[in-house]
């Protein structure tokens, strides 16, 4: 027991000082630890990798939304693709796609589009079926394929189909490159098309994978081409079989739809076979026509 009152007071002061110091240290330590409950991230992770939630990617690239409506960016495995083949799309406005890309025909017309060609095995089959059903379509061609098969570019143009620029080598990352690199790629592709069909109108550009950026939309517009997205995607690039491709297109099309199909870039026999059902089903309900080329 401390009998000296002054000594007791001294001990008490020391205890108070120690308690105060400990409290200050605790508060300081808490301030240095981040509050996890208050933080937000635009990326969550799972066993399949990162998934974007409430914020867009830092690179500004549009990405697909897995729904049956208009898709808004890339989700492909080497070819174009995106929306899950389910649900009914809403046409919306002609330029309501990613970065202002056109998603519909802008009228009640339904437009079939074929990407990645031309291909010597599948493109002639597609052309024959379109001819049989008196349907004109829009072909988004890859520059190196146009260069390799100028006879097929001539056949596409001769039958009144619309030609669309689809980049030189199906470069999904093209939109992230410099404006000069994008311009060079698109010009090279258009030159390959016009080497086969001089003065061919090329009114549209479609970005591989739907990987649109503001820069690639701007460059395509500067070169006189409309950025062309789509409304209905049966994911034929995943080779789901003719029955599923046809069912998705026939059930999903509404007036103004732009349908994404492929005549190259892999095994496209399922797409060709699906056209035997798609073409009579659509032409009995809609006017199916190529997008306007702007040519005479």
Question: What pLDDT does 9 receive?
Answer: 59
Query: For the whole model, what pTM was predicted?
Result: 0.72
Provide DSSP, 131-181: HHTT---EEEE-HHHHHH-HHHHHHHHHTTPEEEE--SS--TTGGGS-HHH
Residue with the bigger pLDDT between 10 and 256: it is: 256
Q: What angle do the packed helices 179-196 and 214-222 form, to 10 degrees?
A: 50
Tell me the three state secondary structure of residue 239.
coil
CA distances for 212 relative to 101, 200, 227, 244, 286, angstroms? 8, 25, 9, 27, 29
Spatial separation of the C-alpha atoms in residues 162 and 200, rounded to whole Å: 9
Question: What pLDDT does 56 receive?
Answer: 32
- pLDDT level of residue 96 (50, 70, 90 thresholds): confident
Rg (CA), the chain: 29
Q: Does an H or E element contain 11, and which?
A: helix 5-31
Of 7-16, 166-175, 187-196, 258-267, which range is least confident?
Answer: 7-16
The predicted-structure confidence for 135-169, as pLDDT tens digits, reads as follows 999 999 999 999 999 999 999 999 999 999 999 99
Residue ranges per structural domain of the chain: 99-283
Question: What pLDDT does 295 receive?
Answer: 54
b/e 78-102 (16+ beta carbons within 10 angstroms → b) = ebbbbbbbeeebebeebbbbbbbbb
The predicted-structure confidence for 119-129, as pLDDT tens digits, reads as follows 999 999 999 99
Question: Hey, CA dihedral for 163, 165, 168, 172, is it positive or negative?
Answer: negative
Q: Is the distance from CB of 84 to CB of 95 less than 8 angstroms?
A: no
Question: What pLDDT does 10 receive?
Answer: 53
Question: What pLDDT does 22 receive?
Answer: 52
Q: Is 161 noted as a catalytic residue in this protein?
A: no
pLDDT, average across residues 103-114 = 97
The predicted-structure confidence for 9-54, as pLDDT tens digits, reads as follows 554 554 454 445 555 444 444 443 333 333 322 222 222 222 222 2
Question: What pLDDT does 126 receive?
Answer: 98
Beta-strand pair 162-165/202-205: parallel
The residue to which tokens 């199916």 are assigned: 288
- pLDDT level of residue 235 (50, 70, 90 thresholds): very high
Tell me the three state secondary structure of residue 282.
helix
Spatial separation of the C-alpha atoms in residues 118 and 159, rounded to whole Å: 14
Q: Which of 149, 170, 229, 262 is catalytic?
A: 262
- pLDDT level of residue 294 (50, 70, 90 thresholds): confident
Q: Which of 64, 80, 115, 233 is catalytic?
A: 115
The predicted-structure confidence for 193-226, as pLDDT tens digits, reads as follows 999 999 899 999 999 999 999 999 999 999 999 9
Spatial separation of the C-alpha atoms in residues 136 and 172, rounded to whole Å: 27
Spatial separation of the C-alpha atoms in residues 118 and 98, rounded to whole Å: 26
The predicted-structure confidence for 55-95, as pLDDT tens digits, reads as follows 233 344 443 332 233 333 333 333 444 333 333 333 445 77
**99-283 has which fold?**
TIM Barrel (3.20.20)
Q: Does an H or E element contain 247, and which?
A: helix 242-252
Paired residues of 114 in beta bridges = 139, 261
Spatial separation of the C-alpha atoms in residues 173 and 228, rounded to whole Å: 17
Q: Is 185 noted as a catalytic residue in this protein?
A: no
């Amino acid at each position: 027991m401390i009998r000296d009152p002054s000594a007791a007071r001294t001990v008490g002061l020391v205890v108070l000082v120690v308690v105060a110091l400990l409290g200050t240290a605790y508060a300081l330590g808490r301030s240095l630890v981040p509050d996890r409950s208050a933080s937000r991230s635009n990326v969550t992770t799972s066993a399949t990798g990162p998934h974007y939630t409430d914020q867009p990617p830092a690179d500004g690239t549009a990405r697909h939304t897995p729904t049956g409506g208009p898709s808004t960016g890339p989700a492909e495995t080497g070819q174009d693709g995106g929306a899950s083949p389910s649900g009914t799309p809403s046409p919306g406005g002609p330029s309501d796609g990613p970065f202002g890309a056109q998603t519909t025909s802008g009228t009640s017309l339904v437009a079939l589009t074929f990407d990645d060609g031309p291909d010597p095995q599948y493109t002639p089959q597609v052309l024959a079926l379109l001819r049989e059903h008196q349907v004109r379509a829009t072909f988004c061609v890859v520059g190196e394929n146009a260069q390799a098969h100028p006879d097929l570019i001539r056949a596409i143009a001769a039958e009144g189909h619309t030609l669309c620029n689809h980049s030189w080598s199906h470069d999904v990352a093209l939109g992230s490159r410099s404006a000069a690199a994008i311009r060079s790629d698109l010009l090279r592709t258009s030159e390959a098309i016009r080497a086969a069909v001089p003065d061919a109108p090329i009114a549209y550009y479609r970005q591989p994978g739907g990987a649109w950026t503001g820069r690639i939309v701007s460059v395509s517009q500067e070169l006189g081409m409309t950025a062309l997205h789509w409304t209905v995607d049966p994911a034929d690039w995943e080779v789901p079989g003719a029955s599923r491709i046809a069912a998705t297109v026939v059930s999903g099309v509404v007036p103004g739809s732009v349908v994404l199909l492929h005549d190259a870039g892999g095994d496209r026999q399922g797409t060709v076979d699906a056209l035997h059902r798609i073409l009579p089903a659509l032409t009995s309900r809609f006017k199916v026509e190529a997008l306007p080329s702007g040519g005479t």
